[in-house]
Amino acid sequence: MPNASKARYANIFATPLLTRELEDGPELNALLRERILVHESESAGTAKSNQGGWHSKTGHLEFCGDAGRRLIDHMYALADEATQCVAADYRQKIGPIQWTLGAWVNVNRTGNFNKMHVHPASTWSGPSARNLILDWRGRRRTGAGAPDGASRSETIPD
């Protein structure tokens, strides 16, 4: 579980912002980059909001192996940490949350981009170092329903 004392928390207008550097971030980013580029070369991917570039199928980054599992674990822990920070700011106590998460990868090279779009019901979004951008959401599981999503994208130079 991340140490909340290392997190920096602020409210920006009505949007809370939590920033955190992962201790294993540089190593994890290198592993993820390698696995993502291999998978991109082996998979047709899917078309969503991407204009050019490549978009993986949604899941839990299984194609990234242990690095993907580590990133997903960080995402769950950071969602808990961020939620606890907001609750504390409003002097509220909340119990454990069971997040629903789906993740995908976008690879965009020069000239590629993702069309403007929204992720309805998005709870948390956050960037990672070196153009590794995380945008994910979670919610309390209240029964049947569509899973919330997570994206991870990296701008790869030509």
What is the full DSSP assignment across 23-88?
TTHHHHHHHHHHHHHHHHHH-----SSEESSEEPPSBS-GGGHHHHHHHHHHHHHHHHHHHHHHHH
**56 contacts 41 by C-beta, under 8 angstroms:** no
The predicted model scores a pTM of: 0.71
pLDDT under 50 in the chain at which residues?
A: 127-158
Q: Is 5 helix (H, G, I), strand (E, B) or coil?
A: helix
pLDDT of residue 117: 84
pLDDT at 94: 87
pLDDT of residue 99: 85
